[in-house]
Structure formats: C-alpha cells, structure tokens
Chains A and B, each alone.
Chain A
Amino acid sequence: MVDKLPPKQRTKIPRQAMPEQDACQRAHNFEEVNLGLTEAIAQRESQRCLTCADPKCTHGCPVGVQIREVVDLVREGEYLSAAAKLREDNVLPAVTGRVCPQENQCEGACVLARRFNSLAIGHIERFVADYERQTGQVGLPERALLTGKKVAIVGSGPAGLSCAGDLSLKGHEVTVFEALHEIGGVLIYGIPEFRLPKEIVRQEVENMRAMGIDFQTNVVIGKTVTIDELFNEEGYDAVFIATGAGLPKFMNIPGEQLAGVYSANEFLTRVNLMKAYDPDQYDSPIYDCRGRNVAIVGGGNTAMDSVRSALRLGAKNAYIIYRRSEEEMPARGEEVHHAKDEGVQFMNLHNPLEFVGNEEGNLTGVKLVKMELGEADESGRRRPVPIEGSEFVMPIDMAVVAIGTGANPLVQSTTPDMATNKWGYIVADEETLRTNKRGVFAGGDIVSGAATVILAMGAGRVAARSMHEYLETGQW
C-alpha cells in the first residue's frame, strides 16, 4: 500500500509507459503487443491521480465506470476490490482496458491532461482486470431475485454482452443468440489476437455464463428464428437487437472482383475467428502473404488491424493507402504508432482508382492517384482532391478494402414492421433505445453506424435500463 502524495508531488511523476513487445520481434508473431503494467508500475501510475471531487474521467466514459474509486483501490493495493468496482459498470474490463480509445474518453477528460499527461486509466483498468483473471477470483456482482421475465439478445458483440450482463444482474433470464460459432462478435472475428487475445474474451464470456446467462451459437436471427417467433413461439418478453454493422463496403471500382482482393471483414474473420494464421492447426485458408506486397485501403482501426495482420502473415511490404493525411486518420494514435514501429508503410494522400489483374483473374496491382487537401467538408475534415495526371500503378499481390461497414439487413428484412432509416439502420429512440415495435429495443452499431466497442457497450447499458423498466411496468 502506498500513501497519497500531496498534489504537487503527484504531478511530478511522469506518466508510466506501457511495456511493449519489441517491434522487430512482434511484427512476426500474433502475440499481444502491449505486455501490461507490472504491479509496481500500476502503483506508481495510480499515484498520479488527483482524486478530483468531480471526476471528469467518469463523465468521459460511455459506461460511467467509477474510475476515481477504482484508482484509489489500486493505490491501496486492493486489486480485487478494484476489479469488483470496475465490474459494477463494465462487464468486459479486460477488453475495454485494451481496445477503448481512452484518449478521447476518460483520459481525454482527465484534468491532468491539460498541463501534464493524462492518467493512464486504460492501462490501470487492464492491470486490474488481468490481475483478477490471473487470481481466478472473479468478483461477480450479486444477481437480483429472478423476475421470471425472458429476454433475447440478438448478437453477442460488445453491445449485446453489456446489455446481457446488466439485465441478468436485474434478475431477468437472458439468452444471447449468435450467428457465428463463437461468442463475442467483433471481439472474436474482428480485433486481432495481438491486440486482444481471444482467451480474454472467452474468459469474460465464461464469467457471464457463471452469472447465469445462456449463450446460443449458430442461430441467425432473421433466418433460423425471426423476431416475431422469439415472442410468439419461444416466449421471450423483450428483445434487444445488437447485430452491429457487419456488411462490408466495397469501393465499386474496376477490378474489385479479382482474386486477392478482400474486404477487411473477410480478411480479419479468416485470420481471427478461423485462425488462418496458424495453418498447421487450422483448416481455413488465407492468401499466402509471405514475401508479397500487400495494400490495405483505409485509415481506421480496422485498416490498422488488417495491415498489421498482413505483416505478421509475412508480407514483404505492407502499405496503408489512405486518401487524406495522417492528421485526419480515424485510427487511434496508438495503433498508427504501433503500425509504424512494426514497419508498415503509409501512403497517405493516395486514392485507388482501379485494381489491376492478370489473365488468371489474380490481382497484380493497384492504380492510384495522388490527392491533396482542399476545403473542409461537412465532417469538418479537409476534402481530398485528386491531383490531375498523378496516376500510377503500384504492383501488389493482395489488397484489403477497409473503408467501413454498413447495416446487415437479415434481421430487418424479416421484421417488416420495424422501422429502419434510408441506410438500413434500425431506428431507435435516442434515450430509451426503443424501436417502433413493441418489446423490441436496438442499440450499438446497428443503430449508430460503425463506432467503437465502448460506445456499443454504453448503448447496451442504456438498453438494459430501458428494458428493465419496460419489463417491470409493462408500459410501452
């Protein structure tokens, strides 16, 4: 246990760095990049907290984690209590401690950020969750008396899991339906092992199972069972739709049909869910990147995950092709920084016009045009404008299109009385996440469009509160 230091001394401690696997080494394996704080470093970092009377960090957190209390407990060496405190608001602390964009949320709101570096809240969160997991003494919150109400959650990604956790604690009988063969949604198929080891997701899911939540894989709601059947035939009292934004977008440029052009969803699903990076053990194939030139189109976290995966699969050159400049890049700073350290080559201000192939229909190159930034567009970012006459063909063997995702229509198309907007996303009330269909709530990416794990988890919590109220009162 460490005593609280006077505020002036606290600000003198520099922000503690996250120990990382060496860049040269990690560029060739799928093991986790961030190694986690040691107890000593976590202690030291927790000393930096100013324990504000009105903690801005909690306001910055989409699920409202009581960060000051958690950090206090860490400083006192009460790690298991800290973990239990975390779990009051966050069912997946080991996940969010790794993948949250803290710099825009809790850490962005941290008072220290104004004059010094913000408290490393994400790193502390991860430390606490990992400590708890390693001891095997998971402090699951107590479940309320059973209400006798049945709730179906459609989709087992972050929104669904977060909603399931909260509703189960309220005493409702919760079933989570997943279309794939493994629970976790984007945490399993999307985010690579080196950023979020799947064992961690599995452990969190096991914790939820221990809380009494029922998970059913291989059920495609909309195909295997419809929403109406969940109510009428399977006896559910309320449904939360959290199917995410799973429909890959393509650029609709010539050559996209060539063998060797992937959507990021396919590429990452093969690598993560199907474990194609381990061909000795797993059957699912993936393009053999060894010694090849690989280009990923896009500048978001999915693009970074894809390019870093390609590098680990043995690509000789792994490029990011992004039509704006690094400043506008939507990916987290940490991911861009990691990618650069590992040797990813950034071709910013370039836009693909066409994929080029050979007679066998295999990809051989990409025709690019150079871009420059013009006036700001409606998103506030400067609009990229092609530079005339700057086109050239770059030889590549594999490409991944990571320019975003849209709404998968499977649930909506078989639930015609539920309102959707012109892009196919489900329309839900902002505060209650109610759809126009009685008993049906929706949240996460299927309402907001593609966003982050933690925003989806926040939506899951909002939905849980709102569904609980509906289940208690029966008022719609």
Chain B
Amino acid sequence: MPAMFPIKESRFLSGDVKLFRVEAPRIARKRQAGQFVIVRIHEHGERIPLTIADSDVEQGTITIIVQGVGKTTRLLNQLEAGDSILDVVGPLGEPSEIKAFGTVVVIGGGVGTAIAYPTAVAMKQAGNHVITIVGARNQSLLILEEEVRATSDELYLMTDDGSYGEHGFVTQKLQALIDQGRTIDHVLAIGPIPMMRAVAEVTRPHQIPTIVSLNPIMVDGTGMCGGCRVYVGKECKFACVDGPEFDAHQVDFTNLIQRNKMYRDREQESLEAFEADPTDDLEEAHHCHMEQKFPEVGPRTV
C-alpha cells in the first residue's frame, strides 16, 4: 500500500492560492531552493509539478503553494489539514544557482512569487543585496508580502490596476531601476510566461544575466519521458532534470507557450466536469485520507 503524505497545515493566501505544509521528511531533508516535487492526489489523478516554497527539516515538512487553475490544482485546494496526498516525489530538478552576485533582482509574478521566494531567501543568505519586485493583477492576488519583505533589502509591489503598491508591470519597475543607473548583477524572474519573456527583453540589451524558472508539462519528473523538453539556445533540454531554471536570453518562449497548450481542450473539459460535480474526486481524495487513518500495513521502518 502506498505510504501517504499527510497535510499538516493549509491556508489560503489569496482567493485561489493556497499554502500547504505536507509531511515528507526525506524530501524536507534534501530540498534546496529552486527544486520541485511531483504530486498525484488520488489513484485516478494526473502527476503535476509544484515548486517547493520552503521546508522544515525538524518537523519533516515541505511547503507548497498552489494556485487553483485546472482540475488538479482546484481539487488540491479543497484539501485541508488532516487530509493526505497520495504521492509526493522529490526533490526534483537542479537547485537555483546561489552565490554572492552582488545586487540581485528577484521578480515574482502572481503565484510565481511563491516559487521566487525561497530563492530570494537563499540569495539574501548568500550576502546579496536583494531587490524584490512582486507583481499581481490586483491587491487580492498579491501573496507572501510580509515574508518577501523580510528577506528583501528593497521591495517593490506592482499591481496591474493600481489597487495596491505602484500601478504598472514588474518590467516597468525593472526598467526604471536600470534607467536610474543601478548596478544589477543578476535577475531571477518567475511568473507567467509572457512576464518572463518581457523581463528577458528588458535585461537583454544591458546584458544582465537573467534566469527564469520554466513550467512545461511534465509526467515523471526524472528525465524519463522528455515531455518537458524546452529549447535553450537551440539545444533541447529537459526542464525536469536540466532545469527548471534556464538562461532567459536563450529560452524559446514561443515554443514553450505552444507546447503548454497541447492539452488545452482536454484540460478545459476536465475542469468543467469537475466544477459541475466534484463529488467523486473529493470522495476519492478523502478516501486516501481514510486509508491513512487505518493503514493496511505498518509505517515505514526507515
């Protein structure tokens, strides 16, 4: 019988973004900033990658932050502390490159802030001057403000509609910093693909090394299927094992967008069916929880 992964804590950070602390001691021990896990909620579910936002070795937990956009993430966001996730595997991917670059700009767009946050923490610990730019469509979608503030030397909050912080896009703030003549040694941008592509175009003329974290479709996450292949400087890379972080100036974003659309119709159908009647999925997800309460085999010995 599968060993389950109990949810120890869960809370919404914004309307559709939820934070989970999940018991996964082996992953907690090994995880470094920039790495991810692959999660499957129940026996009929798909495998999806989620970046590890934080970990606690002593408690043996990892933190994941999930935006409910498709069926699987919305189902996940209906789980609570006390429920369990059927499969969690990781830590996968290469960790972020962390060193004393000097001045580092960390840019998080929407839920990408959750992915950028652990790297910002690591950059700060490595002695960098960390400038963080967080963007969201509006105030209600801004997440982790306090956490990010605590780890940043400078924090700029941007909303598309001006409902909070400054009115504008993250790229406008980045451009402004460059125009002010600020020395920027390294940029990390994580968010929607159009945002990452736009950041790459802002830094390209100034030859500022820029890293993005890519989110192609994955299955196994261990380099076995090649579904997550991305093209970086004409070279084929597997985001799950070679990435997920790559040189933004080399990435073929157009191809990434096209490949990510591959199952759009099916994803839409699946989401609609779930929204219309989530009973079966919820029951199955909670059934997993029941199995955990009454395990058929004893706990792991190691």
Contacts and interface: CB of A to CB of B under 8 A. Distances in A.
A408 B88 contact: no
Interface string B235-265: 0100001000000000010110011011101
A386 B73 CA distance: 49
Contact of B224 (A259, A269, A285, A361): A269
A134 interface: no
A214 interface: yes
A38 interface: no
Contact of A219 (B26, B72, B254, B301): B26
Contact of B267 (A218, A224, A285): A285
Given A248-B224, A262-B227, A225 B26 contact: yes
Nearest to A256: B236
Nearest to B259: A259
Interface stretch (B38-46, B132-140, B156-164): B38-46
A450 to B, nearest CB: 13
Contacts of B220: 179-180, 269
A260 B3 CA distance: 35
B99 to A, nearest CB: 20
B219 interface: yes
Contacts of A361: 254-255, 258-259
Contact of B223 (A218, A225, A262, A410): A410
Interface in A272-295: 274-275, 279, 281-285, 287-288
A257 B231 contact: yes
Contacts of A287: 262
Contacts of B91: 223-224
A181 B89 contact: yes
Given A223-B91, A224-B90, A257-B229, A179 B222 contact: yes
Contacts of A217: 2-3, 87
B211 to A, nearest CB: 21
Nearest to B302: A234
B231 A283 contact: no
B149 interface: no
A281 B254 CA distance: 33
Contact of B252 (A216, A257, A266, A285): A257
B300 A216 contact: yes
A255 to B, nearest CB: 11
A314 B123 CA distance: 51
Contacts of A247: 223-224
Interface string B253-294: 011001101110111001000000000000000000000000
A281 B44 contact: yes
A257 to B, nearest CB: 5
B18 interface: no
A360 interface: yes
Nearest 9 CB-CB pairings of A with B: A361-B258, A266-B225, A285-B263, A218-B89, A285-B266, A263-B226, A283-B46, A284-B46, A181-B87
Interface of A: 175, 179-181, 189, 214, 216-220, 223-225, 234-235, 246-248, 250, 252, 256-260, 262-263, 265-266, 269-270, 274-275, 279, 281-285, 287-288, 360-362, 408-410
Interface of B: 2-3, 26-27, 30, 40, 44-47, 71-72, 86-92, 219-220, 222-227, 229, 231, 236, 241, 252, 254-255, 258-259, 261-263, 265-267, 270, 300-302
